[in-house]
Amino acid sequence: MQGDKRVPAYAASKGGIDQLSKSMAHDWAHYNILVNAIGPGWVKTDVTAPLRQDKEREAEIYGRIPLERWADPEDLAGTAVFLASDASDYISGQTIFVDGGCLSM
C-alpha cells in the first residue's frame, strides 16, 4: 500500500494481493466463501534480517513505525484467528493491515 526503496517487487505483490482478494471475494460470494488478506508490516523474518542488520536502513524503518518496533511473526496470529472465526462472518474482500501503525503516517 506504500512503496519503499529497494523492495519494488514486494510492494507490487502487496498491492496485487489486495486486489486479488477483492476480486476473489466478489467471485466466490455466491458460494458463501469469504476471501480476505493480512497485510503485514515490517516483520522479523530471515528475509528482513539484512534490513535489520543495516543500522541506517533500520533507523529509517523505525521512523515509519509508530509502535517503534518490528513485528514478531506471532503478532499476525490474532488477526489470522479472527479471520478464521465466526466473528468475521460478514467481512470479505478486505486486507487487514498488521503494521504497527505504518499506514497511519
Spatial contact of 36 and 96, defined as CB atoms under 8 Å apart: yes
The whole-chain average pLDDT of the chain stands at 93
**For the domain 8-104, what is the CATH code?**
3.40.50.720
Positive or negative: CA dihedral 62, 65, 66, 70: negative
pLDDT digits (tens, 9 = 90+) for 36-84: 999 999 999 999 999 999 999 999 999 999 999 999 999 999 999 999 9
Report d(CA 59, CA 46) in Å as an integer: 18
pLDDT digits (tens, 9 = 90+) for 66-79: 999 999 999 999 99
| Residue 74 confidence (pLDDT) | 98
Question: Cell numbers of 100, please?
Answer: 504497527
Region 24-33: what's the mean pLDDT?
98
Domain assignments of the chain as residue spans, ordered by start: 8-104
SS3 89: coil
Q: Which residue has the cell 484467528?
A: 81
CA 43 to chain centre: 9
The set of catalytic residues is: 10
Percent of the chain past pLDDT 70, that is, above it, reads 97
